[in-house]
Amino acid sequence: MPDTTLPVLPVDLPAGAVARYARHLSLPGIGLVGQQRLAGTRVLCIGAGGLGSPVLQYLAAAGVGTLGIVDDDVVDLSNLQRQIIHPVTAVGTPKVHSAAEFIANLNPLVAVRTFDTRLTRDTIGEILDGLAPHIVVDGSDNFATRYLVADTCADRAIPLVWGSISRFSGQVSVFDDGHTLRDLYPEPPAPGTVPTCAEGGVFGVLPGVIGTIMATEVIKLVTGTGTPLVGRLALWDGADATMRTVRFEPQPGSAALRHTTPPDDGVVCTPAPALTPDGILETPVSHWPELAGEGVRLVDVREPHEWAGGVLGDPLRLPLSTLKTGDLGVLEHVSRETPLAVYCAAGVRSRAAALLLGEAGFRDVVSLSGGINAWWLRR
């Protein structure tokens, strides 16, 4: 395997560093030179959320010399279940500021550069030019940003440590030495086809597992110890406590696919049409009171444990998991001519349910885009 150690020049450790990093200094594979290389390294972390939290915490603790943090979001109460770099007192404040304060309290020997901005093709270039990172870590939460970061790093030959999470599982890889994200996933999935954390939920400790592995890969690349995940994808299943890795090679044509993701704001955010490509009629969840007033029956296809948090109106309750088995439940004896408005948490499951209900013979089914979460947020 080729040498993937980063071209980082060791720097002298500052006063107090020997005691702080004593366990690294005595560790074969790191030692004094490895610690000096860490002190001379600049890392750019995309995102200060679930994955960014453990990445930033452990890289700061390990003594990475400079940490850049990019995030334009503010801390929300719902973040605290997994984004453990932020305290409750930071709710409503920029994530980059909260993360920087944590790092300063953890290790004042680390320099922090914050970028409270949305990542676009223009801003990523400016940030990379200004910070000149040796390595980039992508902990972003949307596909447009992931592909923008991956394509840009590939163009500039900057090693990229990449991770993603969903529900109970996560993935990690290192894109370097000709390997890119597009070798694994040539193009991003269509908008709305993959549940967000708000839609599908996320196991609170999962970002800690995946983010810690990502931080491990950074340290391995910097110090030259171990075998990094270059050309390998690690797959962690938290529910079954299993880890497996699969190998992949650079694919012909991957470079030609770069920059096909909308780069303008890093987020795919286009108004949903009345009729989706899969033939599902869709309307914003804000229309549900009017629909209910017109005799349209609401159908809640979330799981039973979600109903305890509240429902819209007086819905018929039919979990998508039940509907997928072919069981129509409470709709079994409902006339197929009855107009139905289907909703879930964020609008992904409702589209799947609408399609199944259409196949079951219901002739007038609409999916409420945005789901109940969007309705709650508008109030």
Closest CA to 70 of 137, 14, 16: 137
Residues in the chain: 379
- Provide long-range contacts, Cβ within 8 A and 24+ apart, for 122-131: 124/148, 124/149, 124/152, 125/152, 127/44, 127/68, 127/70, 128/44, 128/152, 128/156, 128/158, 131/42, 131/44, 131/66, 131/68
Catalytic-role residue among 45, 153, 269, 344? 344
Mutual orientation of helices 31-39 and 206-223 as an angle, nearest 10°?
A: 110
Which residues, 6 or more positions from 92, have their beta carbon under 8 angstroms from its beta carbon?
Answer: 74, 75
Bridge partners (DSSP) of residue 44 are 68, 136
Phi, psi of 283 (to 5 degrees): -145, 150
Residue 86 in contact with residue 97, Cβ under 8 Å?
no
Instruction: Report CA dihedral (262, 268, 270, 276) to the nearest 10 degrees.
Output: 100
153 a catalytic residue: no
Other residues' Cβ atoms within 10 Å of the Cβ of residue 331: 19
Catalytic-role residue among 45, 153, 197, 269? 197
Cα radius of gyration (the chain): 23
Q: CA 318 to CA 321: how far, in whole Å?
A: 8
Closest CA to 285 of 171, 176, 379: 379
45 a catalytic residue: no
Residue 235 in contact with residue 243, Cβ under 8 Å?
yes
Point out the residues that are catalytic.
197, 344
